[in-house]
Amino acid sequence: MKKNILALAITSVITAPVVMAEEAKSGPDVYGQINAAINSTTDKGMKTTDRDSRIGVKGSHDLGNGLKGIYKMEFGVDVAEGFSGLSGRNAYVGLAGDFGTVLVGRHDTPFKKSQPKDLFGDATYGDMGKKSMAGGLGKKAGEMRSDNVLMYTSPEMSGVKLMIAGMSDLAVDDTTTLAENESETESSLTNALSTAVTYGSTKKGIYAALAYNTWGAETQTNNEAYTEMRLSAQYAESGMIANVVYQTFDDGADADAATEGSNMQFGVAYKMGKFMPKAKYSMVAFADSTKDDGTSMAFGVDYKLAKATTAYVEYVSADKNMMSSTDDLTDIAVGIKHKF
């Protein structure tokens, strides 16, 4: 009951500005997507699933002298298994100007933001999403949305942009708070650092990025720093998208840690009228000497029903080494996504 009341209250806060925006002809934008599918997964049967549905409000306010105040609050909504509340996504407040953008709150790390287009990014059911495509390496395969972020994004200079974020008082291995780790009792904005340098745009033309994460020793139960590196490249032109991502994950203490190793992913898509065939292939080399290297692949077709609405069919397969399982795993999805 409390969750429902909280969800209703938050939804009211999100939707109320729409009325004010109509009256003032300016104000925050309400946006989101509803994405649901029917999935058939190995050893799990068939069911309807949510695919990263969300709702949010964002906007900016002119402060004068070329300075703007910016804000955003975004929440995840499960449209398949019952509305039990809203989950936290990016939420921040900040300032933007000729100097760039500074924001404070909860946000995707620069490492995560550096990735090129992932046309299977919403394939989250049955462990067939981007995290499993990296074989479980790293901290969520680098797909981290972190709390307690102070982030700076530079203005674009000749196509080059810098992003850097400091993160404080982080969870230790996603289960233990920093204060509970005996090696550290005080938080700092440098408990973890995420940086990225990008060139170009993921929307069109040539794009390239280099990103690096350092999770400080105080955030790890083994008291050793954890590092992640990602190198990305993409070419998008005339309806075609082709990209590659190479990433490494390194635990300074244990050379055979289960989350250590390297991963390379290839993606390609080509738009033909309303249809867009797409494919993805991933290879993982595990540092763990007891594990064989693994591969996974995905194939799909998107069909544009309207500007905001897309239907799709996807097939994703991962061998047992990728899944730490005794059997290979496959997933077939038929779904529809509507953005607003």
Q: Copy the structure tokens of residue 19.
A: 């009325």
Nearest CA to 110 out of 37, 172, 162, 32 is that of: 162
How far is Cα 301 from Cα 258, in angstroms, rounded to an integer? 34
pLDDT band at 253 (very low <50, low <70, confident <90, very high): low
Q: What is the pLDDT of residue 281?
A: 94
Pair type for strands 67-76 and 54-64: antiparallel
CB 213 within 8 Å of CB 196: no
The number of beta carbons lying within 10 Å of the beta carbon of residue 137 is 25
Give CA torsion, residues 166, 172, 178, 180, to 10 deg: 180
How far is Cα 110 from Cα 255, in angstroms, rounded to an integer? 26
How far is Cα 14 from Cα 24, in angstroms, rounded to an integer? 17
pLDDT at 64 over 80: yes
The number of beta carbons lying within 10 Å of the beta carbon of residue 22 is 10
The number of beta carbons lying within 10 Å of the beta carbon of residue 339 is 13
Name the residue with higher pLDDT: 26 or 306: 306
Nearest CA to 90 out of 70, 76, 110, 69 is that of: 76
pLDDT at 233 over 90: yes
How far is Cα 110 from Cα 120, in angstroms, rounded to an integer? 20
Q: Where are the alpha helices (DSSP H) in the chain?
A: 2-24, 110-113, 130-133, 320-323
pLDDT at 283 over 70: yes
Q: What is the pLDDT of residue 259?
A: 81
Would you give the DSSP letter of residue 253? S
User: 105 Cβ partners below 8 Å, 6+ apart?
Assistant: 90, 91, 92, 93, 94, 149
Q: Copy the structure tokens of residue 252.
A: 């300074």
How far is Cα 284 from Cα 265, in angstroms, rounded to an integer? 9
| 71, burial (CB in 10 Å: exposed 0-12, middle 13-18, buried 19+) | middle
**In this structure, is the dihedral angle defined by the CA atoms of residues 232, 267, 261 and 219, taken in order, positive or negative?**
positive
Rounded mean pLDDT, 171-199: 69
Name the residue with higher pLDDT: 308 or 83: 308
Rounded mean pLDDT, 268-280: 96
Q: What is the pLDDT of residue 207?
A: 98
Q: What is the pLDDT of residue 117?
A: 92
Q: Which domains does the chain have, with CATH numbers?
A: 2-339 (2.40.160.10)
pTM for the structure as a whole: 0.84
pLDDT at 172 over 80: no
Q: What is the pLDDT of residue 52?
A: 87
